[in-house]
């Protein structure tokens, strides 16, 4: 059985003070959660939130990582920096990183490999645009993205990988894939993983849904057999809403 996983992606929201206030409000609401929980705040809040989260049931994640150990990469953050701050998970290849900042399948693969080498657990994002879905390219695109993301991993690293299916057309738009659409896409992702690392290993990898999961649709989505959790954007910025998702 794959343990459900609900992860918050705060994106470029919350000052350090606001982040601390949100966590303070959230902790008692999710202390009895049956699923794994993580939050990925902006880099500026990582250090202070680590202090708040020590000894709790919420893990700390980051929103990106550079594929190099150190060097002249202005504005970037390294694995060593994240590890020093107590980070466990790191989001890689989010559609906003791919769309706004030119991340490619190759750069995502490099980041995944580097994160795993350094003991961080990547949450690898894949998903299609509305044009690609309407052109019936969803499955072929997912196969391309998933295959590329896995090309640098070793067999013993598979268990530390999480995937997130995020249909770009359903992020921040209020639109949501139907539960069946999300389940079918995630089943396809799992089948592609199976081709790369074996069916048994693929069955152990958690695949989240990242397309506007919220407190109103979480039960329906989480009832689907292939959906193992959610990568939550806007709904994670309000403690009460996020807690309802975590405690679905």
Q: Can you name the residues that pair with 38 across neighbouring β-strands?
A: 7, 59
Catalytic residue among 67, 103, 157, 166: 166
Cα Rg, the chain, nearest whole Å: 17
Estimate the crossing angle of helix 105-117 against helix 138-149, to 10 degrees. 40
Catalytic pick from 94, 103, 188, 215?
Answer: 94
- Nearest alpha-carbon partner for 120 in 96, 148, 153, 143: 153
166: annotated active-site residue = yes
Exposure class string for 176-188: b at 16+ Cβ within 10 A, else e: bbebebbbbbbeb
Q: Is 188 a catalytic residue?
A: no
Is the Cβ–Cβ distance between 179 and 220 less than 8 Å?
yes
Q: Is the dihedral of CA 122, 114, 105, 9 positive or negative?
A: positive
Tokens encoding 186: 């995630």
Q: Which active-site residues does the annotation give?
A: 94, 166
């Amino acid at each position: 059985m794959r343990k459900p996983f609900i992860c918050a992606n705060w994106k470029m929201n919350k000052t350090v003070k606001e982040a601390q206030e949100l966590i303070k409000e959230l902790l008692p609401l999710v202390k009895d959660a049956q699923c794994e929980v993580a939050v990925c705040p902006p880099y500026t809040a990582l250090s202070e939130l680590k202090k708040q989260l020590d000894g709790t049931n919420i893990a700390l994640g980051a929103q990106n990582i550079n594929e190099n150990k150190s060097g002249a990469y202005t504005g970037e953050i390294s694995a060593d920096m994240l590890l020093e701050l107590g980070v466990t998970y790191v989001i890689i290849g989010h559609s906003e990183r791919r769309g706004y900042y030119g991340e490619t399948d190759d750069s995502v693969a490099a980041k995944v490999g580097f994160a795993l080498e350094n003991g961080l657990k990547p949450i690898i994002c894949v998903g299609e645009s509305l044009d690609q879905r309407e052109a019936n390219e969803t499955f072929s695109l997912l196969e391309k993205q998933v295959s590329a993301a896995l090309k640098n991993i070793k067999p013993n690293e598979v268990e530390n990988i999480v995937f997130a299916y995020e249909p770009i057309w359903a992020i921040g738009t209020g639109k949501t894939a139907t539960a069946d659409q999300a389940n079918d896409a995630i089943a396809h992702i799992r089948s592609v993983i199976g081709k790369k690392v074996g069916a048994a290993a693929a069955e152990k990898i958690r695949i989240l849904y990242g397309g506007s999961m919220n407190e109103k649709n979480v039960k329906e989505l989480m009832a689907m057999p292939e959906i193992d959790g959610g990568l939550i954007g806007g709904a994670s910025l309000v403690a009460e809403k996020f807690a309802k998702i975590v405690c679905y």
